[in-house]
Amino acid sequence: MAGVDGRELAFEIHGDDLASLESAFEDGFTTLTEPLAVAFLVERPEFLSVYFLSQVADLIHSEANAHKWMALFGKDTHRRVFFLEDQECLQKARDMWGWESEVVAYDVCFTVEAVADSGAPREANEGGIRGGWEPQSLYIDMEGLFQELQLPPDTRQRKVSDSVFELIVRRPADDDARALRAGVCEEVLGWLNAYTFLSGVALRLRVDGSMSPVCRRLSGWRVGVEHRIAPLPPRDELQRVGGLLASADDATRRALAGLNESLCAPSPMARLMTLWRTVEDVLPRCPSSLLTEKEKKSLKQAIRAALPREKADSVFESACRLGEKRPNEEIAEALVPFAGGVKTEEVARLVGEYWRARGRAAHTLKEAEEVGPAIAFLQAALARFISTQCGLTRDGQPVVPEVWVHR
């Protein structure tokens, strides 16, 4: 039957044969799956096509094998299928699978795009003005680049396009996979930053340190750059785009821009900063001053008497901004109607945490904090705000696209 790469597969069928099991590795075979109950395979026929087992389907559906387990080994286009009921043989097959599938290392993959400096406007060309400040993709001589660079040890590279490449760093498995990834990320980002310093070319991460397990003998899988068709919203959702934009006021358009920008931001902390800036900008707030109008008048006179006029006005304006509530408390109140039913007290607690994380982020480049929940919460809140502003409601509640519902 047609199998791997369209080539014919050859099957050997065995029963409880411990000697044949033990010799499988010596003969160059590897385990293709953990031992599976035959009854399970009968109930899940899709597994027969996954492992190209249609040729032995009769044996799998045979009553004589209904209570047994199947162990599958492969080498190129050869397959060895064992139908096992002896516990010693079954345990041996499980041990073989466990030994081969043990994770011994991790590949940490970075997908990098070279981008021109966007700090200066581009010059006009002969065909007309091609202005703007946006970054430009650059062609890189990958072969020459990788020959000259001293990359971190055990690093491979692969060209994806003229301006995009992958770096794959392999490290031995560690009990703390998160710490391993953080160490590799710090090492690679240091290399990228040094390259930018020397060349003036920004290297922008598209995929930031995705990890793939490397098993002792199994081929496993690797996570890296992926090309796929972007999912389209339902047709009725797409047809509402025109109406959505037509009914959007200025604040809603800024919210749409901020939501989009948050998805494009290069790091979690950058996403949080973008979302917080958007929330502060678009959500309606009613700040209240601690001072009455009479107190403001008296304070203004006192300050002008003590300070030069140009400095006094600035000090007075700062004093008037002192409110009964702190800014994060005002933002929490503004978020409550768009929090998806989360109680006011919980919104206030969450916003307090995000406020402190945002404050720390303003003074460091470290990405040490877990801000995923904050990002999801603020993105969903902005989506509800946009739907409410555009009249996309049902029974008084905002109707948001499915992608934001479970964030």
pLDDT tens-digit readout, 296-319:
677 677 777 777 777 777 766 666
| 192 and 52 in a common domain | no
d(CA 157, CA 167) in angstroms, rounded, equals 5
Q: CA-CA distance, 230 to 119, in Å (whole number)?
A: 31
Residue among 92, 386, 392 nearest 254 (CA) = 386
The answer on 90 and 15 residing in a single domain is yes
- Segments forming the whole domain that contains residue 206: 103-121+133-215
Band (pLDDT 50/70/90 cuts) for residue 130 is very low
Q: Are 387 and 248 in contact (CB under 8 A)?
A: no
Q: Is 96 within the bounds of a domain?
A: yes
**Does any domain span residue 127?**
no
Lowest mean pLDDT among 59-73, 152-166, 228-242: 228-242
- Specify if 126 maps to a domain: no
Nearest alpha carbon to residue 121 among 106, 133, 113, 129: 133
Residue 244 shares a structural domain with residue 388: yes
In a domain, 226, yes or no: no
Domain boundary (215, 247, 264) is at 215
Query: Is 227 part of a structural domain of the chain?
Result: no
Assigned domain for 229 exists: no
Are 169 and 184 part of one and the same domain? yes
Do 95 and 139 share a domain, yes or no? no
Q: Are residues 178 and 199 in the same domain?
A: yes
| pLDDT at residue 125 in the model | 45
* Per-residue model confidence as pLDDT tens digits over 7-26: 688 899 999 999 999 998 88
In 3D space, the residue among 243, 282, 293, 303 whose CA is nearest the CA of residue 378 turns out to be 282
Q: Which of 325, 331, 344 is nearest to 382 (CA)?
A: 331
The residue among 302, 323, 344 that closes a domain is 323
Burial 59-73 (b: 16+ CB within 10 A, else e): bbeeeebeebbbbbb
What stretches of 32-86 show up as alpha helix (H) in DSSP?
38-43, 46-50, 57-60
Task: Give residue 262's identity as a one-letter amino acid code.
Answer: S
The last residue of one of the domains, among 162, 187, 215, is 215
List strand residue ranges (DSSP E) for 22-102, in order: 30-31, 36-37, 69-75, 78-84
Are 74 and 181 contained in the same domain?
Answer: no
Q: How far apart are CA 340 and CA 245, in angstroms?
A: 23
**Mean pLDDT value across residues 162-182:** 83
Q: Are residues 399 and 267 in the same domain?
A: yes
Give me the number of domains the chain comprises. 4
CB 126 within 8 A of CB 142: no
Same domain, 360 and 297: no
* H-helix segments, 307-371: 309-320, 327-335, 344-361
pLDDT at 127 (0 to 100):
45
Percent of the chain scoring above 70 in pLDDT:
69
Please report where in the chains the tokens 């502003």 appear, as a residue.
Answer: 389
Q: Which two tokens stand for residue 135?
A: 């970054």
Same domain assignment for residues 143 and 203:
yes
pLDDT of residue 3: 52
Secondary structure of residue 136 in the 3-state scheme = coil
Q: Are residues 277 and 370 in the same domain?
A: yes
Q: Do residues 60 and 41 lie in contact, with contact meaning Cβ atoms separated by under 8 Å?
A: yes
Using DSSP's 3-state secondary structure scheme, residue 104 falls into strand
Does residue 62 sit in the same domain as residue 139? Answer: no
Establish if 21 belongs to a structural domain.
yes
| Residue 224: inside a domain | no
